[in-house]
Amino acid sequence: MTGLFLGFLLGFIMQRGRFCMAGGFRDLYLFRDTRMIVAMLIIITLQSIGLFAFIELGWAQLPAGAFHWLATLCGGLMFGLGMGLAGSCSTGAWYRAAEGLAGSIVAVVGFVVSSWYIRQPQGKSLFAPLNGPAISHASLPQTFGISPWYAVCALSLLTGWLVWRHLSRKTPPVAQLAPRKQGLAHWLFEARWHPFFSALLIGLIALLAWPSSLASGRVGGLGISGPSAQLFSLITTGNTGFFGWAGYLLTGIVAGALLAAWKSEELRWRFPGWPAMARSLAGGGLMGIGSGLAGGCMLGNTVVNTAWFSWQGWLFVPCILLGSWIVSWFTIIHPFTFAKAKG
């Protein structure tokens, strides 16, 4: 049940911290705002330091297997396109669905169904040409024949410098409403959380997920694409494979986000209109196919697989950036530029 507990904490923190990785990428190229990118580096760095220490202690174990580079590149691009259409990543869609956002609910439906399909014989056969090309070295330290601790040190120095750079900037105060709650209730359910603080908490959860998952016989960290596919099998065929560590993690994410939204008075039904619903459904579908091809979603690849310096994790990131940027260019950047030039 450790998966359920960690998932509950993760869902609660992501909802209360408004920790949206898709929004972070969008802010990067729309507003040159790198706060969420640095926050993600905090998660990766904290997890990386602890993970390799855990491995030396025998508390964690890295996944084995080759790096399917073409599937990762194509899957990352598809995931980024889907993320742009849905307005959130797959994890963000799950916790926002718990808030009552209709668009996120249909994005989750698309993600669940397509995550299941890509793992079926028909789906595997359709995308088999992309899964063929592979290299034996799955991580950067393996490829370059170096200790992973060199990479950990380099990443730690980079993240530390970026954090210092951000915190040393003078930023104008943000207007806030007068608090209605006091003490712990105010901090938990009302106060605005700094993304770096949320990142520290998420990094600790991501780190603890490794030994917790291994204790149940599963090798790996956080991830929701696999249990999302298993959820569809549970609903349609009664297959109970969902009830494992990862399935409980997903259940906990929804429960934690639901409690956070309820207690912070953000739990309400919101309908964005049918065009947005259609985009969200298509986006969820693309994210499911993309995560199946790339071997992980935003959580599994961008947050977890980067921590052990896998090629899959680090090459997934620029691909989703490109896919998300393409959607934003056609839906936000180009229309705005055209309207400005016309006016």
- For the chain, 343 residues long, give each residue's pLDDT as a single digit of tens: 899 999 999 999 999 998 887 777 777 777 788 889 999 999 999 999 999 999 999 999 999 889 999 999 999 999 999 999 999 999 999 999 999 999 999 999 999 999 999 999 999 999 999 998 999 999 999 999 999 999 999 999 999 999 999 999 877 776 677 788 888 888 889 888 999 999 999 999 999 999 999 999 999 999 999 999 999 999 999 999 999 999 999 999 999 999 999 999 999 999 999 999 999 999 999 999 999 999 999 899 999 999 999 999 999 999 999 999 999 888 877 677 766 677 6
Examine residue 250 and state whether it is found in any structural domain, yes or no. Answer: yes
Those residues with Cβ within 8 angstroms of residue 201's Cβ, 6 or more apart along the chain or in another chain: 9, 13, 17
Task: Report yes or no on 257 lying in a domain.
Answer: yes
Instruction: Provide the number of structural domains found in the chain.
Output: 1
Is position 43 within any domain?
Answer: yes
332 CB-near residues (< 8 Å, 6+ apart):
30
Give the sign of the dihedral formed by CA 269, CA 272, CA 274, CA 277.
Answer: negative
Domain that holds residue 41: 2-167+204-342
The number of beta carbons lying within 10 Å of the beta carbon of residue 263 is 16
Percentage helix, strand, coil for the chain under 3-state DSSP, each rounded to 5: 75, 0, 25
| Residues with Cβ within 8 Å of residue 19, at least 6 apart in sequence | 13, 36, 39, 195, 198, 199, 202
The answer to whether position 136 is within a domain reads yes
In Å, what is the CA distance from 139 to each residue of 61, 74, 95, 151? 14, 19, 31, 11
Residue 308 to residue 314: CA distance in whole angstroms: 10
pLDDT for residue 337: 72
Q: What SS3 class is residue 146?
A: coil
- 331, part of any domain: yes
pLDDT value of residue 331? 84
- pLDDT value at position 228? 96
Q: Would residue 230 count as lying in a domain? A: yes
Q: How far is 302 from 80, CA to CA, in rounded Å? A: 12
* Nearest of 107, 103, 83, 78 to residue 22 by alpha carbon: 83
* Assigned token pair, 136: 């034996």
**Please, which residues have CB within 8 angstroms of residue 118's CB and are 6 or more apart in sequence?**
124, 127, 229, 288, 289, 292, 293
